[in-house]
Chain A
């Protein structure tokens, strides 16, 4: 293969092409762009979580610069329905209509030459609200008689699902069980760059051009066209450099529709750049789950059954395109984890509340599910007085069972789960930690070790999503590839990079197959006018599907290049091979660059019967099986807990990850580090609390704590490489995994540290206050006995 010769193909830890501009502050983000004549937009947002809109009073002096719902004639609201039986549809207005359903909902769009002046205008608008009881707690929202978020619904449930695989039969067999109630906090996705967009109508092209910080320009284009009733051909969406997304930028925003409408109305470019306050209070909510989970085991600790009732606080609207039910739906299918057992029941509720819509964040439901399951398994191990890892080994899917269809009908493609855990325990040195715990700490702190495992389905396609019936179903990803006259290669894909390094990794795939020097391969992405349709970048799919499409296109280019090369070498096409960027025959060799030059600039030298379709192709990727790849990992955390102050120090953190064949191991490590930092945020810091009136209690990063460099330890990453049988190179998706296990591993470590005090932490994040109060409660109960 080319890579072994050049060190630029699959498996090479190349420095990212993107980093030169990013590291020098020379990236081009939405905020760096300002077309001549642009007006800035500030939105007046609802200050109430739930209220009727009795009136909006706009002084006449500013009326022409303010737009409210009644001005937006003919604009359709955003609907993200699913085809799942019993799903209740929500209608998300572009600007509030009749009532507001969460703090931060858009009420009015204000335009001015600068953002500050637009805010001045917003401050002059008076809104007459009639406050309604806020539905702020997802459990209370399920009660009969609760106030209704959507007044025409019969209750506050978007959807209820139920899986039952012979559950009742398990109870008779079970010798042990533990039941735990667990909760994950509502979080806010915090990319360094917030959302933002510029909308402008181009009269020459007859086209609306929306430059947006998005992960999926094609989906946004479809959504905007639908809401505005425009032909899709009249909408072009461009995603420039995108500074982190994590799922937040995979959503069609009402802001995108509002500015797209407004630019036609005003015949001026309009720009809106989200600020951190909007991001925290109105935009990027995620993660809020509640579980009541019971694990049943036999007398040796083998897992027999899981029984779960899970509730997801899905917020006020079903967000486009993933809907309000993605998280709860995933819970039912992911909860069994890496384990093989025979009985299962899981009911899920997707609950509407007066909070911003819940959006899929890196790992989506897996972070909450891994937390619920792995923390409960540790509780079971304590109940049975077993080493938590030993308990897991007894029930884990074994490598000889692969590929394995689990109890929730997930098809695990490949891997050796017990080996990952064995390597993880060896790396963290379980015996040494247990010995240290026996010795105790001089400073009075308590040391604990926690492990957690998960698998991460990625690149799953049509068969998985079709039954959901959400606004899009991923089909076949495509790549347009062409040689340039100087022998360089252009790749065009419809997915986009928001930090993943696609310009580097997709280039490595192409280099592997065509041998074109890495420096001469250019990725074009993000612009709907220049790239094939794609459902975009989400679900850790791009290395599989975009990588697969690049490979298909390069294969076809290789055939064409060989055919022309053979004729120039006066050999038969079947007698030549492509080798390190050259077509080689017995009679000689010719470089791909020379062939490209001949094709474009000296066609008179081409054979008479040359195939005129040339050196550009569009090819698509079809997985051998579209149920996805399952990368997996074992995480171990060692912590020291001060039971008096609740401070937690992470002493060691180990990840043993199997992402199949790694295209660029350095980028994979980066994905794991970044994900784990976010997982540490989920575990210890991040929490957007709401009061009883549905008001978010944080509006700056002083209130909403993110881990910083000093809170993230040196994470020790080890790789296994079990190829996926279903992908082109055996690669698997790994983009989210780092963020999945840390809350479970760290909570298990804290609970291991505190086990002598007889208490457990079951709510995220595990804050110092929660630890101190839990310890104090355990002490009170102990002394009362």
Chain B
């Protein structure tokens, strides 16, 4: 297990969490939803950030998503994959209730990515690189950004992301390809830096 990459470990832990829900046959749907909220609040917030590009909107989206999920706990028939269910609710609230007003606001203020979310007051080389990657991802078009976060960050497979975002799997792959093209520059910088550091 020690050979797993960090990402693979994260994906594995996600499925372990799902297994915990599957085992608990006696917990009520409300308990399951409360547990899922507690377990996945960071992921829902990140998805809210990916959708909206703004941390204050991500805060609101997370709060609204959790309240909505709790209201609808009766609809939960399976305690598996409640994370996907929360993501779907979050995106639905974003598209139907928040997006129009947030995009107007963003255009008015021409907001830049909140790089301080990554490296608050720290200028080490690692943080500089992380800030560049973060900024690059946040500057992707919204469709690419949400796809990158779901697949690269949260470990959803292409088909899971396709189901969640209600697009064909081919669309997911082409969005990721376009995103990779834009991220290439900063990644090549990192590769060059790595070579330079190892050459010292």
A and B, one complex? no
